[in-house]
Amino acid sequence: MSKRKVCVVTGSRAEYGLLYWLMKEIQSDGALELQLIATGMHLSPEFGLTYKVIEEDGFTIDAKVEMLLSSDTPVGIAKSVGVGVIGFADALERLRPSVLVVLGDRFEVLAAVQTALVMNVPIAHISGGEITEGAIDDSIRHAISKMSNFHFVAAEVYRRRVIQMGESPNRVLNYGDPGLDNFRRLHLLSRRELEKALDFPLGSPLFLVTYHPVTVGNANNREATQALLSALDQFPTAQVIMTKPNADAGGRTISRMLEAYAQKHPCRVHLDTSMGQLRYLSAMQHCDVVIGNSSSGIVEAPAIKKPTVNIGSRQNGRLKAQSIIDCGENSEAIVGAINKALSDEFKQVICHTESLYGDCNASSRIRDFLKQVDNDKHAGKTFFDISFLLS
- Residue-level pLDDT at 373: 82
CATH topology of domain 4-177+358-381: Rossmann fold (3.40.50)
Q: Quick check: 84 and 112 in contact, CB under 8 A?
A: yes
Is 13 a residue whose pLDDT tops 90? no
DSSP character for 189? P
User: pLDDT tens, 167-212?
Assistant: 999 999 999 999 999 998 999 999 999 999 999 999 999 999 999 9
Radius of gyration of the chain, Cα coordinates, nearest whole angstrom:
20
Do 4-177+358-381 and 189-351 show the same overall fold?
yes
Is 276 a residue whose pLDDT tops 60? yes
> Is residue 375 very low, low, confident or very high in pLDDT (cuts 50, 70, 90)?
low
Cα angle 27, 29, 30; round to 5 = 115
Q: Quick check: 4 and 31 in contact, CB under 8 A?
A: yes
Cβ neighbours, 10 Å, residue 373 = 18
- Residue-level pLDDT at 7: 98
Between the alpha carbon of residue 320 and those of residues 154, 250, 291, 355, the distances in Å are 13, 26, 15, 9
pTM for this model (two decimals)? 0.86
Q: Where are the domains of the chain?
A: 4-177+358-381, 189-351
CA 48 to chain centre: 17
User: pLDDT tens, 317-349?
Assistant: 899 999 999 999 999 999 999 999 999 999 999
The CATH H-level (homologous superfamily) assignment of domain 189-351 is: Glycogen Phosphorylase B; (3.40.50.2000)
For the chain, the first-to-last Cα distance in angstroms comes to 45
Cα(332)–Cα(329) distance, rounded to whole angstroms?
9
Strands (DSSP E) found in 236-347: 239-243, 269-272, 289-292, 308-311, 324-327
Nearest to 222 by CA among 121, 5, 230: 230
Q: Quick check: 141 and 295 in contact, CB under 8 A?
A: no
User: Counting Cβ atoms within 10 Å, is residue 344 exposed (0-12), middle (13-18) or buried (19+)?
Assistant: exposed
Q: Quick check: 246 and 212 in contact, CB under 8 A?
A: yes
Strands 289-292 and 269-272 turn out to be unpaired
Region 132-158 average pLDDT: 92
Q: Quick check: 284 and 303 in contact, CB under 8 A?
A: no
- Residue-level pLDDT at 42: 93
